[in-house]
Amino acid sequence: MSKTQVVGTMSEWSGIIRDMFRQFDDGSLTLAHAKAFTEHRNPFAISDIQSEWQEFYRKYFRISVDFSDVSIPADPGGFDRVIFIPKGLKLNDVLRAIRKQFPAWSYEEDLDKDVIENIRKSDRNYAILIRERVEADEELKNISANQLKQQGVNAITLLERLVLELKYWSETGQHLDVSNITLCAGSRSRFGSVPNVDWSADCGKLHIYWFSTGRANGRLRARQSVS
């Protein structure tokens, strides 16, 4: 009777198994991955936009999240980019994940302590839509955060903008707002100011800083969202 030959030494197999269990423990591998592997399917195959974002959070944040029951808002027209936010995600988590990939400077280091007001909170899994653009919305230039609030414009938060930066970079190796600035009008600091984000090609860094709610100019633009 022939025997199936085992490829690899016991030491190699032991190391692989230990590493596999470590990844299950830290969330970089999930039960769904194990099930797909035992069924001889690609554990990392992406079949839909929810799965794509789940893989993004697994890869860059080492967390397992299920977006299968998250409803994507209806697109009123022109809002082609979806952003998924998992329950419990913190600003400091995103900043740390970003800094592992490229330089980022922030006027405040403890973003969770500083940014205390957001029109959406990560107390649940959710999704929003924005326009698919490198630069923030030209339609919203020269409009301050105060005016956006008066007009009822649903604007992106700082958390969503930072997640978007990392997701866009993971897809393209490029950055957003290389010529203009995203006014994250969906958020406020503890002093009432508004976070802003852009990429400085001169410094080679992502910049996170604050302006007053009444500031407006041609480069400072919100990103409208649908939620």
- Using alpha carbons, list the distances in angstroms from residue 27 to 12, 87, 128, 166: 23, 15, 25, 19
- Is there a domain that residue 2 lies in? no
- Is there a domain that residue 67 lies in? no
- Is there a domain that residue 1 lies in? no
Spell out a b/e string for 164-198, using b for 16 or more CB atoms within 10 Å of the CB, else e: bbbbbbeeeeebbbeebbbbbbbbbbeeebbbbbb
- Is there a domain that residue 27 lies in? yes
Q: Which domain holds residue 36?
A: 10-61
pLDDT given at position 1? 42
- Successive 10-residue mean pLDDT values, the chain, 227 residues: 57 70 67 60 64 97 96 96 98 98 97 97 97 98 98 98 98 98 98 97 96 98 98
Do 39 and 138 lie in one domain? The reply is: no
Do 56 and 107 lie in one domain? The reply is: no
Which amino acid is it at 102?
Answer: F
pLDDT given at position 45? 46
Q: How are beta strands 81-85 and 194-200 bridged, if at all?
A: unpaired
3-class SS at 137?
Answer: coil
Do 54 and 106 lie in one domain? The reply is: no
- Is there a domain that residue 73 lies in? no
pLDDT given at position 33? 62
pLDDT given at position 29? 66
Whole-angstrom distance, CA of residue 158 vs CA of residue 161 = 5
- Is there a domain that residue 120 lies in? yes
Domain tally, the chain: 2
